[in-house]
Amino acid sequence: MQPEQTQTTEARIRQQIAENPVLLYMKGSPKLPSCGFSAQASQALMACGKPFAYVDVLQNPDIRAELPRIADWPTFPQLWVNGELIGGCDIILEMFQAGELQPLVEEAAPSVEDEQK
């Protein structure tokens, strides 16, 4: 991989993380996940009832290759909230079951009414 390519991919990833308060890097999409872990993670996020962004790493092999290095996290899915890596499927599900994911997502993803004020 060329150094410029790596820089561009890293810049894209950092921009995605900066622009999306709740962002899930996953395999597939929330409606059509391509792996069980991504399915469980996106279902937990959808159950929080707030919008979230996602990136399908299967459609973006450059991001799939680069993000584990940037995040220092080897697997997908990866949940990022307010620019911080929260973790993968196990952590997302544990937080959801403990009631910790919902307030985190609600705080990070303001409702439409909040944005119109």
**35 among the known binding-site residues?**
yes
64 marked among binding-site residues: yes
Q: Where are the domains positioned within the chain?
A: 22-109
Residue 48 labelled as part of a binding site: no
Please report which helix (H) or strand (E) contains residue 79, including its range: strand 78-81
At the top level of CATH, the class of 22-109 is: alpha beta
The total number of residues shown for the chain amounts to 117
Average pLDDT over residues 39-64: 97
Q: Is 62 annotated as a binding residue?
A: no
Tens of pLDDT along 58-115? 999 999 999 999 999 999 999 999 999 999 999 999 999 999 999 999 999 865 444 4
Please check if 72 is assigned to a binding site: no
Model-level pTM? 0.89
In the three-class reduction of DSSP (H, G, I as helix; E, B as strand; rest coil), residue 81 is classed as strand
